[in-house]
Structure 1
Amino acid sequence: IPGEACDAGGTTAACDGDCTAPSCGDGFHNSAAGEACDTGGNSASCDANCTSASCGDGYTNGAAGEACDTGGDSVSCDGNCTTASCGDGYRNAAAGEGCDDGNPNSYDGCSSGCQVETPVCGNGYRESGEACDEGGANGNGSSSCRADCQYDYCGDGYDGPSEGCDSGGANGNGGACRGDCQLNVCGDAYHGPGEGCDEGGSRNGNGTSECRSDCQMNVCGDAYVWFPGEGCDEGVSNGDGWSACTWSCQWNYCGDYYTCYGQGEQYDDGSGWCNYQFFP
């Protein structure tokens, strides 16, 4: 028939169904001729060589969004069909990359040349495994960032900038260094070393509390009258025979078996008769 290149009554390896000779790129999909597709050139779904478009098939198809395709990683092309470039976030070993974290920066574990970095504490850059790095300002007790590039914290045994002390595991509210890394002092309500008591702040008091202002127990003979319990307290003068305050911190009276010459008693045998002798 005029105009027909062939006619096989359908599509065959030798003839397209439109009676033209089969040719990859003619826009007629002839599977009998081994074509997976034919869109007359590159398209999003079909390569110009009549194979289905697929990254990694070794055929660069720009219509399918491929910048390159070398069938895998190569010096010039990444395995995802993009141009190989350090900093693109794709590690291409064939291009000599030991790492690729997607940025051009060094000191973050992967250098600007895409090589794995060994962290160096004290270089001023916070790297893998480091909580902080202030360079030369790092220090145990002098900085919030310790010499090992970890943050200073209460209980690490280093006296940090905001800490009054730090004895590590020995910290405790009954120790010289409290659990909050502040020094144990009289009046803080913690019974620390050298203290007989500590009720905290204004609760401590000389004569007003069982615990004195110096964090020692209020006892008879300390010259502080503590109510209840003591009627008087003249310190070392208690019970000396002239003080009106007995050794038990109670006021002297006739009949208490305590002879107080300062009150005019000559003797006191507990009978209630003290043979008063008044001194001029």
Structure 2
Amino acid sequence: MIKSIDFSQLYRDHLARSGRRFKTPEDWDAKAAKMRTSVLDSAYRTAFVSRVECSADDSVLDVGCGPGTIALALAPQAKCVYGLDYSQGMLDAMLDNAAELQLSNVQPVLASWDDDWSTVPVCDIAIVSRASIVADMDDALTKLNKHARKKVYMTQLVGGLFASREIAALLQREDRSFPDHIYIINMLYQRNIYPTLDYIESPSRLAGSSNVAEFIAKVSESFGPLSADEEAQVTAWYQRDPDYAQQGGEPSRWAFLSWTPPAH
């Protein structure tokens, strides 16, 4: 029964409902200088890399590499690393970071998910870190499976919201979530691929407030201006458990999926 469900179409329908506007290469070019070093040291990065099995003989393809957050962490233990991105600015930032780290085995690949990947290197390992909200997940999985000989590692946002799901429900905001990892698991299952599933947690964007006024300010930044009634609801939620509220409520979660692609 499950194999007869068109999860690829359901994914596309869900993405359409989210109103997702994909950033242009120029949008990311403008962010590259600011992001160049700010994302290179984080608990998320450490958690992701610790779950990747990579040896000195392995080649790695990092799709949506940005300034090299994961690629540069794997480069010292890999034979070579290819960072693929559709933003030339991000690729330049990655190469600048690689030069500063004295890494000579990092190569850029200018391409997007939607491009023809006939010239993209086939590697032992394919990585997709926080870059998997794509227009066509079925096509993306096909490309990853064709370009990884040994293993694919991917993270996908759990619940499809960067903002707090708890507060979104409290405020009764319209569901604008992105498709999450459940679609990917089912689409892989339909291909007779059985991924391993783990989760990476990080503090909510609402974490770090020391009082209710600061918390309301963080909520407003995430959800837009609040009405007086909404502020009262948020205040009551905060006061029920201030320690939990100061943590930002539930953490952000990324599903960490890994699987062996079909033999080429």
Shared fold (TM-score, shorter chain, > 0.5): no
Q: Which has the larger radius of gyration?
A: 1
Structure with the higher fraction of residues in strand conformation: 2
Higher helix fraction (1 or 2): 2
- Please classify the TM superposition score into its range, dividing by the shorter chain length: under 0.3
TM-score of the two chains, using structure 1 as the length reference: 0.16
After TM superposition, the score normalised by the length of structure 2 is 0.16
